[in-house]
Amino acid sequence: MIQPSFCTVVAAVLLACAGIAHAEVSPAPSVEAASSDPLESFNRAMYGFNKGVVDYVINPTVDAVAPYTPAPMVTGLGNAYNNLTEVEYVLNGALRRDPGMIATSAGRFVINSTVGIAGLFDVATPLGLVRQKGDFGEAMCAAGVPAGPYVVLPLVGPANVTSAGLLAGGVALEVYLLSFISMALATADFLVIDIGGSAASLRYATDIPPGADGYSVQLGEYDSYIRSACGPS
User: In the prediction, which pLDDT does 22 show?
Assistant: 43
CB 152 within 8 A of CB 47: yes
pLDDT in tens, 3-23: 445 454 455 555 555 444 444
Question: In Å, what is the CA distance from 95 to each residue of 91, 92, 157, 163, 220?
Answer: 6, 5, 22, 12, 26
- The pTM of this model reads 0.65
Mean pLDDT highest for which of 72-76, 106-110, 169-173? 106-110
Ranges of each domain in the chain = 6-230
pLDDT: is 217 or 105 the higher one?
105
Which of 32-36, 55-59, 95-99 shows the lowest per-residue confidence on average (mean pLDDT)?
32-36
pLDDT in tens, 39-92: 999 999 999 988 888 888 877 877 777 777 787 877 887 788 788 778 778 888
The neighbour count for residue 209, using CB atoms within 10 Å, is: 9
Instruction: Tell me: pLDDT of 233 over 70.
Output: no
Instruction: Tell me: pLDDT of 122 over 70.
Output: yes
